[in-house]
Copies of this chain bind each other. A is one copy, B any other.
Amino acid sequence: MTELTHLNTRGEAHIVDVGAKERTHRIAIAEGQIHMAADTLAKLRAGDLRKGDALGTARVAGIMAAKRTWELVPLCHPIALTHIDVELSLQEDPPAVRCQARTETVERTGVEMEAMTAVQIALLTIYDMCKGLDRGMIIGEVQLLHKSGGRSGTWERPTAPG
């Protein structure tokens, strides 16, 4: 028998029964980066200066995607998020855009996937905006930093991410 909770006793994908779990306050924080050439970063910064739409568009994309996580990830429960915050910052050395997302709910299951999805789609949006300049950009270090709430309690990533 499998130890993957997302497979049922027949070994088939299912959505885990959380009906007996309590609604509690749950928080997740995830982060990730997109690495790019220094020149690409400079142009992204310049493009963002006038109206803020380069980073702003990625931020909105991350927020909207977090709400739709359950439509994208097949075995995720539908969740009504009570808070979403997506932060993007330009990093000089090495040149990259870093994204951190925080999601919260008061539900029967955690919001780690929602935070991870927000980071992924926000970084994809940066890729989309800059790909005409630099197709070699690499998205990486997408990871959970923190989760709290629910039966399994609090989890913190052991070593501080770079």
Using a CB–CB cutoff of 8 Å, the interface residues on chain A facing chain B are: 2-8, 10-19, 25, 32, 43-44, 46-47, 49-57, 59-61, 63-65, 67-68, 70-87, 104-108, 112-113, 116-117, 120-121, 124-125, 127-133, 135-144, 147, 155, 157-158
A46, A82, A132 interface centre (most CB from chain B within 10 Å): A82
| B80, A74: Cβ atoms closer than 8 Å | no
The 9 tightest CB contacts between A and B, nearest first, are A52-B52, A11-B50, A140-B140, A2-B47, A17-B83, A4-B47, A56-B56, A139-B142, A19-B82
- B residues within 8 A CB of A158? 136
Q: A10 to chain B: which residues have CB within 8 Å?
A: 50-51, 87
Q: Is the CB of B68 within 8 A of A133?
A: no
| Cross-chain pairs A/B with CB under 8 angstroms, 17 sampled | A2-B43, A2-B47, A6-B128, A8-B85, A11-B50, A19-B25, A52-B56, A56-B56, A60-B60, A73-B124, A75-B125, A76-B128, A78-B81, A80-B80, A106-B108, A135-B144, A135-B155
Contact, CB under 8 Å: A133 / B19 = no
Chain B residues with Cβ under 8 A from A74's Cβ? 57, 60-61, 63-64, 125
Query: A137: which B residues are within 8 A, CB to CB?
Result: 143
- Closest residue of chain B to A34 (Cβ to Cβ) is B142
Given the known A-B contacts A120-B120, A157-B136, are A17 and B82 also in contact in the complex, defined by CB atoms under 8 Å? yes
